[in-house]
């Protein structure tokens, strides 16, 4: 009888130890797991994504697979698709971006579909991308000026910065300068260098009637030049030499030509070097030296 009791007690202890062991194992897994981009334990994220079907958790899993150190595109697509199927707009964008990066016609067609879905979900960048697809005939989409303008308008309303300048350019190309100006100005206020340059060109053009203002043009070109916009640096160099909209300053002109010539862009570098060579024939060696010194000071502040 004593032996039987011992066997029974051993069996009882075994049953009691099983849940303890399982709990200890679960705790070990939990406490040795990393942290997901959301700040949550990775195993909790996995459980919410896989077991509960939480689209935000699925999106986080996709982000890790898409952008992590051990990038796994197939895994990223799997999780993006799961979340996108539940109308998760950022997941739609992640999926669209993957196929857009592939660059082939079939992939771009899939990208166009998901950009379209995200655009209907109110995503400003998706609306902008879809407008670009129409303009460039990508993903099976055809040029459609009316649709492009509508998408850009929606994107600007959603507050997507790059769309502001793009929409303004669309209006400008239609000869609607008065309508384009506020959009250029909104983009410029965000530090959009192309928008600043466009404003400079509008105000510098004497054919624009009452809008023409050399002084305002200089303001925009100078601001863009200081932000590192090479075409503005070249334009500003010419204006400094000619004294249009500001006092003539050959030294400042050479400074900006020298700065622009440091660009890595081949075409812009050639244009800047042409300006610099032209200035060699218009200024003294002392002015050139002073201009070079000013350029070095400016470049040091940028490095």
> Residue 41's beta-bridge partner residues?
35
> Residue 35's beta-bridge partner residues?
41
Average pLDDT of the segment spanning 263-285:
94
Give the pLDDT band of residue 36 (cuts 50, 70, 90): low
Among left, alpha and beta (phi > 0; psi -120 to 50; other), residue 53 is left
Number of Cβ within 10 Å of residue 50's Cβ equals 14
Fold of the 171-303 domain: 1.25.40
pLDDT at site 17: 53
Q: What are the structural domain ranges in the chain?
A: 171-303
Q: Is the pLDDT of residue 204 over 90?
A: yes
pLDDT at site 131: 95
The residue among 220, 284, 228, 275 whose CA lies nearest residue 253 is 275
């Amino acid at each position: 009888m004593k032996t039987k009791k011992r066997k029974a007690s051993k069996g009882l202890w075994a049953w009691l130890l099983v849940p303890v062991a399982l709990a200890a194992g679960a705790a070990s897994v939990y406490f040795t797991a990393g942290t997901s981009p959301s700040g949550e334990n990775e195993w909790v994220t996995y459980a919410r994504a896989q077991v509960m079907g939480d689209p935000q958790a699925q999106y986080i899993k996709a982000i890790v697979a898409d952008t992590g150190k051990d990038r796994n595109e197939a895994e990223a697509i799997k999780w993006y698709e799961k979340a996108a199927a539940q109308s998760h707009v950022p997941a739609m964008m992640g999926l669209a971006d993957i196929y857009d990066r592939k660059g082939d016609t079939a992939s771009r067609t899939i990208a166009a579909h998901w950009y379209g879905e995200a655009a209907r979900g109110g995503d400003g960048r998706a609306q902008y991308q879809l407008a670009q697809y129409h303009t460039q005939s990508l993903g099976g989409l055809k040029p459609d000026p009316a649709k492009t303008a509508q998408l850009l308008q929606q994107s600007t309303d959603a507050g997507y910065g790059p769309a502001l300048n793009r929409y303004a350019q669309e209006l400008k190309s239609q000869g609607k300068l008065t309508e384009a100006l506020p959009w250029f100005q909104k983009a410029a206020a965000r530090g959009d260098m192309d928008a600043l340059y466009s404003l400079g060109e509008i105000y510098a053009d004497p054919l624009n009637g009452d809008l023409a203002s050399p002084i305002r043009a200089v303001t925009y070109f100078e601001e863009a030049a200081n932000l590192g916009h090479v075409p503005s640096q070249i334009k500003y160099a010419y204006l400094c030499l000619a004294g249009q909209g500001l006092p003539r300053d050959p030294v400042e002109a050479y400074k900006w030509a020298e700065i622009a010539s440091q660009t890595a862009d081949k075409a812009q570098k050639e244009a800047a070097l042409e300006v610099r060579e032209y200035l060699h024939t218009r200024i003294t060696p002392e002015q050139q030296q002073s201009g070079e010194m000013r350029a070095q000071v400016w470049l040091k502040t940028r490095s």
